[in-house]
């Protein structure tokens, strides 16, 4: 049994200050008002740690993260395990390993590792959730850093045709993919079905709506993104069952008052939960506040879209799906200057939300922990409540992570 006492506890509807958490095994056994001296485990006092002035929040859940600290999800040699071991430093207790468009062999490799790590989780690591495929089925005009040579047609995939890529020949900086068909990708998704969580696609592509239905029938969560869909096309995809939006505002046409497009459809549709990159750069703080006001914290998921450049000094080189990227002050960039994801970590997203963006602590916890858990069907996660799973982050007065617990076990201490 572990007792953590004296910090502010950020509960689903209020802040208990000070409060005491009693952890029994992997669960929160009790929440008490007030403080008791020190912290206790197994009837013995833990090494001294002053919880007073700190906040305890549910562990962060990042549903869109490609990598961190020099490791990309598509790297060979245990990349998913390495990312899982690094993320607790940033308060993350669960994450969806996220891929860019890749060849079937690379997709198989990463999904096999996701399966292995989920079946045999490592100690002192974040939970590995089913993967987020920021997939091959996106619009070439809105691909951003998605490798052009990897893009394929949804119609060709569903019909089993050997159609080649959707785009012009790739630039010299793109990874070599070799020959593969669109249908090959769906076979890999079917092969690893339990370990594929979210699939991003552009519904306006030929066969896009049918692919939405195909994925839903196999239990996957469909996300709309990297897309130039019109308002009506977006509504059709939502009617077909799409319930997620990939990094709202980024890699989609801007909201227009006469042509609301994909952004307008997402903002006005309660069924869809929308990701927001909360670094203050990818989306201006005013637009983050607008999106949260329009949809409510219960329909927003704070994400990092973090890359292998996240956590590294500006100027450091890393990779994204085999492409060379460089860490900048505010984002990561391909060699040609294309923005290629962020350098954000979830503790930084939380600081941005409660600082520059001005969310309450309760609302910031909702978008960083509670909404992601609920949208992914993780019952008992993402909240501080009696009998909830004891996945927790302890933050100092500057909202920097000082401790992270996964299943009641201390997995990171500053």
φ, ψ for residue 302 (rounded to 5)?
-70, 130
How far apart (Å, rounded) are the C-alpha atoms in residues 171 and 63?
Answer: 30
Question: For residue 169, what pLDDT is reported?
Answer: 47
Question: For residue 31, what pLDDT is reported?
Answer: 97
Contacts 24+ apart (CB under 8 A), 207-211: 207/153, 207/154, 207/155, 207/156, 207/157, 207/158, 207/159, 208/137, 208/154, 208/237, 209/236, 209/237, 209/240, 210/154, 210/155, 210/158, 211/137, 211/154, 211/157, 211/158
Asked, as a colleague might, if the bond just before 407 is cis with ω within 30 of 0, I would say no
Count the neighbouring beta carbons within 10 Å of the beta carbon of residue 44: 6
Q: H or E stretch including 4?
A: strand 2-10
How far apart (Å, rounded) are the C-alpha atoms in residues 392 and 301?
Answer: 18
Residue extents of the structural domains in the chain: 59-382
Which residue among the candidates 62, 75, 305, 391 is catalytic per the annotation? 305
User: In what order do the strands lie in the sheet containing 317-320?
Assistant: 317-320, 323-327, 332-334
Helices (H), 66-181: 79-86, 104-119, 154-159
Q: Give the SS3 label for residue 241.
A: coil
Closest CA to 189 of 115, 265, 276, 253: 115
Query: In the structure encoding, which two tokens stand for residue 332, read together?
Result: 């990561």
Question: For residue 45, what pLDDT is reported?
Answer: 62
Angle between helices 104-119 and 182-191 (to 10 degrees): 10
Question: For residue 217, what pLDDT is reported?
Answer: 97
CATH topology of domain 59-382: TIM Barrel (3.20.20)
| Residues ≥6 apart with Cβ < 8 Å to 331 | 279, 281, 282, 339, 340, 341, 342, 343
What are the E-state strand segments in 343-395? 392-395
Query: In the structure encoding, which two tokens stand for residue 393, read together?
Result: 């982050």
Per-residue model confidence as pLDDT tens for the chain (414 residues): 899 999 999 999 999 999 999 999 999 999 999 988 656 655 556 555 668 899 999 999 999 999 999 999 999 999 999 999 999 999 999 999 999 999 999 999 999 999 999 999 999 999 999 999 999 999 999 999 999 999 999 999 999 865 555 554 444 456 667 789 999 999 999 999 999 999 999 999 999 999 999 999 999 999 999 999 999 999 999 999 999 999 999 999 999 999 999 999 999 999 999 999 999 999 999 999 999 999 999 999 999 999 999 999 999 999 999 999 999 999 999 999 999 999 999 999 999 999 999 999 999 999 999 999 999 999 999 999 999 999 999 999 999 999 999 999 999 999
Q: Does the pTM exceed 0.75?
A: yes
Q: Which residues pair with 392 in a beta bridge?
A: 58, 405
End-to-end Cα spacing for the chain: 22
Question: For residue 47, what pLDDT is reported?
Answer: 56
Contact 200, 229 (CB under 8 A): no
How far apart (Å, rounded) are the C-alpha atoms in residues 204 and 206?
Answer: 6
Active site residue 210: no
Angle between helices 79-86 and 104-119 (to 10 degrees): 50
- From the number of C-beta atoms within 10 Å of its C-beta (0-12, 13-18, 19+), residue 247 rates as buried
Question: For residue 170, what pLDDT is reported?
Answer: 47
| Residues ≥6 apart with Cβ < 8 Å to 258 | none
How far apart (Å, rounded) are the C-alpha atoms in residues 189 and 93?
Answer: 25
């Amino acid at each position: 049994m572990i007792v953590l006492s004296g910090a502010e506890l950020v509960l689903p509807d209020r802040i208990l200050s000070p409060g005491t958490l009693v952890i029994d095994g992997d669960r929160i056994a009790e929440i008490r008002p007030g403080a008791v001296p020190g912290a206790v485990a197994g009837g013995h006092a833990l090494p001294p740690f002053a919880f007073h002035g700190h906040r305890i929040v549910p562990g962060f859940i990042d549903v869109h993260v490609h990598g961190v600290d020099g490791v990309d999800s598509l790297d060979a040699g245990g990349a998913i395990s390495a990312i899982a071991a690094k993320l607790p430093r940033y308060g993350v207790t669960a994450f969806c390993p996220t891929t860019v468009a890749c060849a079937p062999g690379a997709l198989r490799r990463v999904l096999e590792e996701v399966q292995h790590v989920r079946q045999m989780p490592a100690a002192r690591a974040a939970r590995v959730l089913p993967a987020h495929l920021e997939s091959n089925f996106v619009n070439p005009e809105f691909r951003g850093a998605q490798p052009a040579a990897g893009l394929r047609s949804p119609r060709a995939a569903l019909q089993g045709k050997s159609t080649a890529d959707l785009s012009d020949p790739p630039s010299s900086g793109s990874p070599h993919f070799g020959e593969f068909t669109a249908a090959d990708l769906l076979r890999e998704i079917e092969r690893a079905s339990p370990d594929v969580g979210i699939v991003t696609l552009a519904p306006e592509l030929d066969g896009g709506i049918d692919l939405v239905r195909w994925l839903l029938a196999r239990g996957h969560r469909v996300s709309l993104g990297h897309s130039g869909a019109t308002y009506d096309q977006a509504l059709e995809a939502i009617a077909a069952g799409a319930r997620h939006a990939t990094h709202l505002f980024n890699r989609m046409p801007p909201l227009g008052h006469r042509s609301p497009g994909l952004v307008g459809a997402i903002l006005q549709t309660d069924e869809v939960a929308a990701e927001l990159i909360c670094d203050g750069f990818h989306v201006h703080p005013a637009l983050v506040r607008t999106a949260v006001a329009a949809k409510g914290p219960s329909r927003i998921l704070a994400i990092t879209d973090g890359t292998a450049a996240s956590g590294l000094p500006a100027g450091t080189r890393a990779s994204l799906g085999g492409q060379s990227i460089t860490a900048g002050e505010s984002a990561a960039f391909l060699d040609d200057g294309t923005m290629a994801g962020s350098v954000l970590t979830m503790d930084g997203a939380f600081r941005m939300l409660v600082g520059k963006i001005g969310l309450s602590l309760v609302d910031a916890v909702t978008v960083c922990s509670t909404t992601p858990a609920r949208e992914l069907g993780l019952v008992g996660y993402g909240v501080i409540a009696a009998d909830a799973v004891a996945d927790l982050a302890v933050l100092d007065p500057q909202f920097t992570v000082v401790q992270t617990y996964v299943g009641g076990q201390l997995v990171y201490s500053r």
